[in-house]
Amino acid sequence: HAARSTILIEEFLRRGWIVSVSSYGDGLRYFKRAGIGAKPVPGISYGVLPEGKVSIKLTIYKNILLPIRFGEQVSRELSFSEDASLVISDSRASTILAGKILGKPVLTILNQFNIRVEYPKYKRLIELVEAVAQAPGEIWALSDEILIADYPPPYTISKQNLAIPESLAEKTSFIGPIMERVEGSAPRKIVCEKYGLDPETAPIILYHASGPSYERRRLTSLLLPILDKLSGKFQFVATLGGDRPNRSYESLKVFSWVENPVELLGVADAVICRAGQTTLAKALAAGKPVIMIPIPAHGEQLGNALSVSKQGAGLALDQEKLSAETLERAIRRILSDPSFSEKAGEYRDLARKLDPVEYVCSKASERVGLAAPGRGRA
């Protein structure tokens, strides 16, 4: 969410708005790396087991004081938002509540409305957790407008998590994923030379690491040795989201951080990634079929992977069954069946018609009665 918020913040600043930003955890670190002076608020997160699987028990344990933590968030947001003309929340319920308490117009950006909990055990506990997890929806509904940062149906990536109540339909819009424009990158030959790839030999497969830091590092530690085994059959290039590999891989092109990952999306024949909505949206906007490895037991990512698979633009692999054999089989299927690229191309064509950043900026101006700069909170 920090990545798409950064795109919006930079555009508002370019237009002369005064923008105040708050975040926590990985999002706060992302903003600081982007040169955005975000203000810290108390964090809320889910629990993760050592193997990178979402844990219901750990999530409950980590959030045993959730009402207090949420109240602290609202208190901070009240002080941050007092002078704002407009409040924009990217999914955070505390920001919306603070904005409405202060009588501010609120725009909310979402890519999920129904939080799904995936866990085969403890069904009664799951029912309780899911009931609590729906509470943010009551606060999201207070927004003046809800902007869904996803492709319109039937191409919606997070469709499993976007059962919007009929009562909110009139103030809900599918605006498209908020991300960098992926068209117009440098010629394939120049990009390949820049990253040490050969456009004339084996297919180029991009591993794009993204998402929460622990789960991202866990997948990278599992995947790089597998890519190393398969490096004689494909060209692999990996971007690690700021992480560093635990050892060198001479047969792979591994980059801790890439300033312009869109370049690599442009030259890749397929993309290996988690199943986060923004990551999938970028790959599909570039017209690239995806091999998705969702975070285990992560309801949103499992739903995203199912949606894209059903649409025919990619394949999903279970992290617990990940091996050189299962990955090679998936890569060969993606590369040998042109329907995957054709379906991914449909997402690319749709992305070129959408302009979500302009849509958000226009709605913001409408809400504060401006055709000129204003003050905003993000």
Span 152-165, pLDDT tens digits: 999 999 998 898 88
pLDDT at 48: 57
The answer to whether the CB of 176 falls within 8 A of the CB of 152 is yes
- Where is pLDDT greater, at 337 or 243? 337
Residue 370, domain extent: 2-177+354-377
pLDDT at 358: 97
For the chain, what percent of residues have pLDDT higher than 90?
Answer: 65
Length of the chain (residues): 378
Residues 288 and 373 in one domain: no
The answer to whether the CB of 89 falls within 8 A of the CB of 96 is yes
- Summary mean pLDDT of the chain: 88
CATH number at residue 290: 3.40.50.2000
Residues 160 and 53 in one domain: yes
Residues 192 and 173 in one domain: no
pLDDT at 163: 83
Is residue 358 a part of any domain in this protein? yes
pLDDT at 61: 46
Q: Tokens 């920090």 identify what position? A: 2
Q: What's the number of domains the chain is made of? A: 2
The C-alpha atoms of residue 101 and residue 184 are separated, in whole angstroms, by: 44
Residues 284 and 361 in one domain: no
**Among 21-30, 141-150, 338-347, whose mean pLDDT is lowest?**
21-30
Is residue 182 a part of any domain in this protein? no
- Phi first, then psi, for residue 377 (nearest 5°) are -120, 140
Is residue 183 a part of any domain in this protein? no
pLDDT at residue 221 tops 60 = yes
Tens of pLDDT along 163-192?
Answer: 888 899 999 999 999 998 887 678 889 999
The C-alpha atoms of residue 12 and residue 6 are separated, in whole angstroms, by: 10
pLDDT at residue 130 tops 90 = no
Residues 14 and 129 in one domain: yes
Residues 300 and 364 in one domain: no
Average pLDDT over residues 329-348: 98
Q: Three-state SS across the chain?
A: CHHHHHHHHHHHHHCCCEEECEECHHHHHHHHHCCCCCEECCCCCCEECCCCCEEHHHHHHHCCCHHHHHHHHHHHHHHHHCCCCEEEEECCHHHHHHHHHCCCCEEEEECCCCCCCCCCCCHHHHHHHHHHHCHHHHHHCCCCEEEECCCCCCCCCCHHHCCCCHHHHHHEEECCCCCCCCCCCCCHHHHHHHHCCCCCCCCEEEEECCCCHHHHHHHHHHHHHHHHHCCCCCEEEEECCCCCCCCCCCCCEEECCCCCHHHHHHHCCEEEECCCHHHHHHHHHCCCCEEECCCCCCHHHHHHHHHHHHHCCEEECCHHHCCHHHHHHHHHHHHHCHHHHHHHHHHHHHHHHCCHHHHHHHHHHHHCCCCCCCEEEC
| 357 confidence band (pLDDT: 50, 70, 90) | very high
- Where is pLDDT greater, at 128 or 68? 68
Residues 54 and 166 in one domain: yes
Q: Tokens 């950064």 identify what position? A: 6
pLDDT at 124: 62
Is residue 110 a part of any domain in this protein? yes
Residues 195 and 242 in one domain: yes
| 372 confidence band (pLDDT: 50, 70, 90) | very low
The C-alpha atoms of residue 145 and residue 209 are separated, in whole angstroms, by: 32
| 44 confidence band (pLDDT: 50, 70, 90) | low
Displacement of CA 169 from its chain's centroid (Å): 23
- Where is pLDDT greater, at 58 or 211? 211
The C-alpha atoms of residue 123 and residue 65 are separated, in whole angstroms, by: 23
| 203 confidence band (pLDDT: 50, 70, 90) | very high
How many Cα neighbours within 13 Å face the side chain of 6?
17
Residues 359 and 345 in one domain: no
The answer to whether the CB of 209 falls within 8 A of the CB of 182 is no
Average pLDDT over residues 318-329: 97
pLDDT at residue 139 tops 60 = yes
Residues 82 and 93 in one domain: yes
**Among 127-131, 179-183, 346-350, whose mean pLDDT is lowest?**
127-131
Residues 312 and 173 in one domain: no
The C-alpha atoms of residue 319 and residue 97 are separated, in whole angstroms, by: 37
| 371 confidence band (pLDDT: 50, 70, 90) | very low
| 142 confidence band (pLDDT: 50, 70, 90) | very high
Average pLDDT over residues 5-15: 96
User: Taking CA 120 as the corner, what is the angle to CA 114 and CA 121, rounded to the nearest 5 degrees?
Assistant: 115
What token pair was written down for 135?
Answer: 């509470």
Residues 78 and 39 in one domain: yes
Please state the pTM of the whole predicted model.
Answer: 0.84
